[in-house]
Structure 1
């Protein structure tokens, strides 16, 4: 199953990008033996619209356009259900085992996800009630995907 991170905005060169790339590469290496490929990171341009609602609509259109035809979709949103690392690993494995071809994770811009992206999501999940910059959420997601692969592989990285 192909994993994708579809995120509004770019991570500029620097420590944040390096950390994200480190977890993406670790996930790629560990995921191969588990029947997972990626995660591929798709960066959607931030909207230049003046009004937040307009920005969200434009960015959501870009997110949805970047999705593969056949994909399960998990959107990250502060109002979504909190998800443990173990549950994320279980969900990834269950989707893979049911023959899902791709699993896409959506990260909105600074204003959040627009309605079109929310409607496309099969599920909304949260990393907690705190507010995080969308760039940091991408790093956190990349780490959680790596952690999911280590949980599924029985690797000692995850010590819950």
Structure 2
């Protein structure tokens, strides 16, 4: 089992970075955040394209790619736990992708093996990292029967 969160933007020393990493550090398998950034002032479509190229280049080889997208499925924590079990069963590393402020380019969406939405609400991208890391930890806790998740 191996999980990457490929995210557009640099968290630096922001508190959100420490929170997200704290959840990933609790996992019993390798999990990391890979950050990519496009600093040039570009139009929305060009920015999505350039960020997408960087995201695709950062994906682990042979990864099963789950793109966070507003049109993705919104599973419960229990359902996400089952999905993670299914996805790990493919024997490939998992890579969750968090896009930039303008969303994902077409190439990233085309590469997705699955799409996921954490909420109908719009969240700051740095908080999405924390929320996703926590849900991955929660899903694995459910899977192993740890009392972290209470129904």
Shared fold (TM-score, shorter chain, > 0.5): yes
> How far apart, CA to CA, are the structure 1 residues paired with 2:132 and 2:99?
13
Q: Which residue of 2 aligns with 1:117?
A: 108
> How far apart, CA to CA, are the structure 2 residues paired with 1:150 and 1:92?
11
Which of the residues 54, 70, 73 maps onto 2:65? 73
Q: Which runs of 4+ in 1 moved over 3 A?
A: none
After TM superposition, give the deviation of residue 45 of structure 1 in Å: 1.1
Contact 2:64 2:94 in 1 (8 A): yes
Gaps of 5+ in 2: none
Quick check: 1:130 aligned with 2:121?
A: yes
Quick check: 1:40 aligned with 2:40?
A: no
After TM superposition, give the deviation of residue 144 of structure 1 in Å: 0.5
Task: Please give the per-residue CA displacement for 1:92-137, whole angstroms capped at 9, x wherever unaligned.
Answer: 1112234x22011000011111111111001111011111111111
Q: Which residue of 2 aligns with 1:106?
A: 97
Gaps of 5+ in 1: none
Contact 2:21 2:32 in 1 (8 A): no
Q: Which residue of 2 aligns with 1:7?
A: 7
